[in-house]
């Protein structure tokens, strides 16, 4: 168990998800973020749906007035059908980060220890700080969160309030948690009495391989399954959802009453109309096709221009590539400086280290390919090759 304050994660000055305060050199190609491509967001369909909404007096009344803390009923029903749960277990949130914070405030007692992915999505550590700074880093390996590692720590006497992992297309580590480990993690939680906070914003964006079922999470009294429309309909909506065990629905709603009453009725009204009109699946199909092409362009260019330079797994979905430097002699900080000087910026792996040993994560780079065109991605790799050769 370690204290977050001993780490150099910059937790006292979170920079936001796109590192808005980082100023790359003029003309640099930014592989930062995890921001969906603007051209993948359904602006025209939203305009149509929104115009209908404002012409419908009953819908206008619902959009402009207070609404239930749980969320708009038809939106919750639509989400519940996709998740395979009773609508009563769905709570609409102000996006995925808000769902994570609600989960933390609901199940993590002040000062408790929480097991987290290592490498980890730093935003979760920021959310966690509202309750605790004690974390138990758990390695993320080829098939995700190392459940056996955590089990060994628990057998040795460690105790945790919750375990946090990104289940599909991990940020930053790109991998997905295997079906066996989903069941094993939930069983471990039931045996030791901790909560599992499952963060799943990239789940819909699968462009290869087979969907890994979420039933293990959605059927457990110990799992909180957090998702969002951020990566499919756009971050700007700030609309997401939680699938909660029944006994946590009322505690989360009581918390909402204290924090923010409910998610915007306006955004819920538009998103509800959009998804119940059957428009969502096409958005996901178009987005995954776009991201498949981009991931392919990036991986292809790396093989072509920097052969042998990285250990690379071709992504099966999501927004990130997490290549590992093949040569131990290379200095990641120097590579980053050379890349930036040659007009490419990306996220350095050490930024995601959850443990005190940052060396493993520091051998990786996180390339976000989602909001760059194939031509930009190829040009970025060409520049990297020039910089690093």
Residues that bind its own copies (CB under 8 A): 12-14, 16-18, 20, 35-36, 38, 41, 43, 46-47, 50-51, 54-55, 57, 60-69, 94-95, 97-98, 101, 105, 123, 126-127, 129-130, 233-239, 254, 257-267, 269-270
CA 99 to chain centre: 11
CB nearer its own copies, residue 134 or residue 262:
262
| Alpha-carbon span 324 to 313, nearest angstrom | 9
CA 72 – CA 57 distance, rounded (Å):
17
Rounded to whole angstroms, the Cα distance separating 237 from 81 reads 21
CB of 59 to its own copies, least distance (A): 10
Is 227 or 267 the residue whose CB approaches its own copies more closely?
Answer: 267
Within a 13 Å sphere around the CA of 160, how many CA atoms are in the beta-carbon half? 31
Q: Please give the Cα distance from 330 to 336 (Å, whole number).
A: 11
**Closest separation in Å from C-beta 282 to its own copies:** 17
C-beta closer to its own copies: residue 125 or 381: 125
Pick the closer one to its own copies by CB: 24 or 300.
Answer: 24
Q: Which of 244, 245, 211 is nearest to 227 (CA)?
A: 244
Which positions ≥6 away from 81 have C-beta within 8 Å? none
Which residue, 358 or 370, has its beta carbon nearer to its own copies? 370
Distance, CA of 312 to CA of 224 (rounded, Å): 32
CB of 18 to its own copies, least distance (A): 6
Residue closer to its own copies, measured from CB, 121 or 336: 121
Taking the complex as a whole, the smallest distance from the CB of residue 164 to its own copies amounts, in Å, to 14
Give the residue with the Cβ less far from its own copies, 219 or 257: 257
As given in the structure block, the two tokens for residue 59 are 């819908």
Q: Please state the φ and ψ torsions of residue 113, each to the nearest 5 degrees.
A: -100, 140
CB of 131 to its own copies, least distance (A): 10
Residue 57 CB, nearest distance to its own copies (Å)?
8
In residues, how long is the chain?
Answer: 389
Taking CA atoms, 307 is separated from 66, 102, 295, 301, 337, in Å, by 57, 45, 17, 9, 21
Give, to the nearest 10 degrees, the angle between helix 265-276 and helix 57-64. Answer: 140
The least CB distance from residue 365 to its own copies, in Å, is 22
């Amino acid at each position: 168990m370690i204290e977050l304050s001993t780490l150099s994660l910059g937790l006292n000055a979170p920079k936001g998800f796109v590192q808005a305060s980082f100023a790359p050199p003029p003309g640099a190609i930014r592989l930062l973020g995890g921001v969906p491509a603007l051209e993948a967001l359904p602006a025209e369909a939203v305009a149509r749906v929104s115009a209908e909404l404002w012409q419908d007096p009953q819908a206008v009344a619902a959009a402009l007035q207070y609404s239930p803390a749980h969320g708009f009923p038809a939106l919750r029903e639509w989400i519940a059908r996709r998740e395979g749960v009773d609508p009563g277990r769905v709570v609409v949130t102000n996006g995925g980060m808000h769902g994570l914070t609600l989960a933390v405030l609901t199940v993590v007692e002040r000062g408790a220890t929480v097991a987290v992915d290592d490498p980890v999505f730093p935003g979760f550590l920021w959310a966690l700080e509202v309750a605790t700074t004690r974390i138990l880093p758990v390695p993320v390996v080829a098939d995700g969160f190392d459940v056996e590692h955590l089990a060994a720590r628990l057998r040795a006497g460690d105790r945790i309030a919750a375990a946090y992992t990104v289940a599909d297309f991990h940020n930053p580590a790109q991998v997905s948690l295997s079906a066996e480990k989903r069941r094993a993690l939930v069983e471990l939680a039931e045996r030791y009495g901790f909560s599992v906070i499952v963060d799943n914003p990239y789940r819909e964006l699968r462009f290869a391989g087979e969907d890994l079922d979420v039933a293990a999470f959605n059927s457990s009294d110990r799992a909180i399954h957090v998702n969002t429309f951020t990566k499919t309909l756009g971050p700007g909506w700030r609309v997401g959802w939680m699938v909660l065990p029944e006994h946590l629905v009322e505690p989360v709603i009581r918390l909402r009453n204290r924090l923010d009453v409910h998610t915007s009725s306006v955004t819920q009204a538009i998103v509800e109309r959009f998804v119940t009109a059957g428009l969502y699946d096409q958005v996901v199909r178009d987005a995954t096709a776009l991201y498949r092409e981009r991931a392919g362009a990036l991986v292809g260019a790396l093989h072509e221009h920097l052969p042998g330079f990285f250990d690379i797994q071709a992504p099966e979905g999501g927004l990130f590539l997490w290549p590992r430097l093949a040569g131990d002699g290379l200095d990641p900080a120097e590579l980053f400086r050379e890349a930036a000087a040659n007009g490419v910026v990306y996220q350095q792996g050490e930024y995601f280290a959850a443990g005190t040993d940052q060396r493993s994560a520091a051998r990786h780079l996180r390339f976000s390919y989602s909001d760059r065109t194939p031509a930009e991605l190829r040009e970025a790799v060409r520049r990297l090759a020039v910089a690093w050769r």
